[in-house]
Chains A and B, each alone.
Chain A
Amino acid sequence: MLLISCPHCGPRDEHEFAYGHEAHIARPTLDQQNTMSDAEWADYLFMRKNPKGVHFERWVHARGCRQWFNVARHTVTHEIIKVYPMGEPAPKLEQK
């Protein structure tokens, strides 16, 4: 069970949240979309980092304030290293 600190409501049980998978996947701009190859589309739509280590991911406080935010979480220890707002770039972390 994860204890996730919602930036608006404070620490809450994991089951109040829904998972939004990998963060920082930018949707191609309209200009890019016109010239993108199928392989580039596949990369955007389906390919994922899925790291064994620190993962930058999105969560939404679905059964609370319903706000989205980003989380840096370790996928082996499940330690939540940082919670940061949507739109902010991934924080630089010391590799554990």
Chain B
Amino acid sequence: MKQNYSIFSLVRNALSYHQGWQEAWRSPAVPKPEYDVIIIGGGGHGLATAYYLAKEHGITNVAVLEKGWIGGGNTGRNTTIVRSNYLWDESAHLYEHSLKLFEGLTQDLNYNVMFSQRGLMNLAHTQHDMQALRRRVYAIQLNGIDSEILTPAQIKEMVPILDCSSSARYPIMGASLQRRGGVARHDAVAWGFARKADERGVDILQNTEVTGFKIVNGVVKGVETNRGFIGGKKVGIVVAGHSGVMAGLAGFRLPVESHPLQALVSEPIKPILNTVVMSPQVHVYVSQSDKGELVLGAGIDAYTSYAQVGSPFIIENQLNALTDLFPCFGRLRMLRQWGGIVDTCPDASPIIGKTPVENLFLNCGWGTGGFKATPGSGNVFAHTIATGEPHKLAQPFALDRFTTGYLIDEHGAAGVAH
């Protein structure tokens, strides 16, 4: 049984110089010969899937295979934004499901994921931006999700450091605001899911890379790894940027291209920004972490890549955008920059569901916006794997939508930035 984290456990462990903490999850030396479910990919989505499989479907003979270490991929490389302000019904319902799970996640996991609903603002800079923004806000409201329109005066009051003057290079004409949106601590989300999944019996196997699938008569029987063959009655692929590689090993094609997405943080400063500000047109999004660093992101590099680095001019563009919107950040120094590999779909919506191989399931294509979906994605994917049929929220996101033509085109609809 896992020790409960609380103020009392903190005090107790402080008395023994923090030497007595229990390990957060086991590292089994040898994998079992067969699991009921194998999840490939120990990022947030994979760990959440394992957790909900155990918690909601009673399937505990589960392995999560991670080729690196927990939280070392995109889970630890994103800008931690959580929101559900999507135009299309399918996306709105899926991301709202995730946002609602985020609201109770700290208690559910007994792990402080530092979910801070500080509000999320999308700026509009032209008449056309404003028209699209109004349409989006009204659609979101019709789906029962909180969303409102702010005037420039209201924006100025909320974020005084924004350049709201009429002489600004990109004049601010209005904004949409989702007050329930915000940020969460990305590492904590991964660690919290890992710890609770482990508590329910899930084996988390780090440094275990999948090198092939064993498929007999169109049915998956297990995976080949650098630690030998591991049998699995069902297998879920949740590997973000490497989805195309995994699909290639299993013998089918995906409508996915992998691109670098870069982000960066500034040196820490005193509290100055108490909300998330996104500008899809000038293209930057920024929030301030609890440590005081500004966390910045923008768009993907154009070319396909698996290298976890991007081109510096992409960063230059996003810093230009930042200093245009916030002139007072002009002298700020940047501390760290990194890239992650994101799997983008033609319609900028994820793929969740079955594959051409029986008992092999797929959860990918989250592109630039996967973090916000972590609990929701794991929740609906666990249902899909456990029952063999798609969760009702996941159904529209099946791989066959590219054949039926029922795309969920969020490219323009979600306002580009994710």
Residues in chain A within 8 A of chain B (CB atoms): 1-2, 13-15, 18-19, 21, 38-39, 41-43, 45-52, 55, 57, 73, 75-78
Known: A14-B311, A15-B313, A52-B245. A46 touches B346 (CB 8 A): yes
Give which listed residue, B245, B255, B306, contacts A46 with CB less than 8 A.
B255
Tell me whether B304 is interfacial, beta carbon within 8 Å: yes
Tell me whether B402 is interfacial, beta carbon within 8 Å: yes
Residue of B nearest to A17 (CB): B302
Tell me whether B378 is interfacial, beta carbon within 8 Å: no
Q: How far is the CA of A49 from the CA of B245 in the complex (A)?
A: 9
Return chain B residues, CB-CB under 8 Å to A46: 255, 346, 402
Can you list 7 residue pairs at the A/B interface with Cβ under 8 Å?
Answer: A2-B311, A38-B404, A39-B403, A47-B402, A51-B244, A51-B248, A52-B242
Contact between chains at A73 and B303 (CB < 8 Å): yes
Return chain A residues, CB-CB under 8 Å to B403: 38-39, 41-42
14 extra A-B contacts, CB within 8 A, seeds A18-B302, A21-B304: A14-B311, A42-B402, A43-B253, A46-B346, A47-B254, A47-B402, A50-B244, A50-B256, A50-B257, A50-B258, A52-B245, A75-B305, A78-B305, A78-B307
Q: How far is the CA of A14 from the CA of B301 in the complex (A)?
A: 11
Return chain B residues, CB-CB under 8 Å to A45: 346, 402
Q: How far is the CB of B254 from chain A (nearest CB, A)?
A: 7
Residues in chain B within 8 A of chain A (CB atoms): 242, 244-245, 248, 253-258, 302-307, 311-313, 346, 402-405
Q: How far is the CA of A43 from the CA of B252 in the complex (A)?
A: 11
Residue of B nearest to A18 (CB): B302
Contact between chains at A48 and B303 (CB < 8 Å): no
List of 8 A-B pairs having minimum Cβ-Cβ separation, nearest first: A46-B255, A50-B244, A19-B302, A47-B253, A42-B403, A1-B311, A46-B402, A42-B402
Give which listed residue, B248, B303, B306, B404, contacts A76 with CB less than 8 A.
B306
Known: A14-B311, A42-B402, A46-B346. A52 touches B306 (CB 8 A): yes
Q: How far is the CA of A18 from the CA of B303 in the complex (A)?
A: 9
Give which listed residue, B253, B305, B306, B313, contacts A48 with CB less than 8 A.
B253
Known: A42-B402, A50-B256. A77 touches B307 (CB 8 A): yes
Return chain B residues, CB-CB under 8 Å to A47: 253-255, 402
Contact between chains at A75 and B304 (CB < 8 Å): yes
Q: How far is the CA of A47 from the CA of B254 in the complex (A)?
A: 5
Q: How far is the CA of A57 from the CA of B303 in the complex (A)?
A: 9
Residue of B nearest to A14 (CB): B311
Q: How far is the CB of A51 from chain B (nearest CB, A)?
A: 8
Q: How far is the CA of A8 from the CA of B307 in the complex (A)?
A: 29
* Of listed A38, A45, A47, A55, residue having the most chain B CB within 10 A: A47
Contact between chains at B307 and A55 (CB < 8 Å): no
Contact between chains at A21 and B257 (CB < 8 Å): yes
Residue of A nearest to B317 (CB): A15
Residue of B nearest to A50 (CB): B244
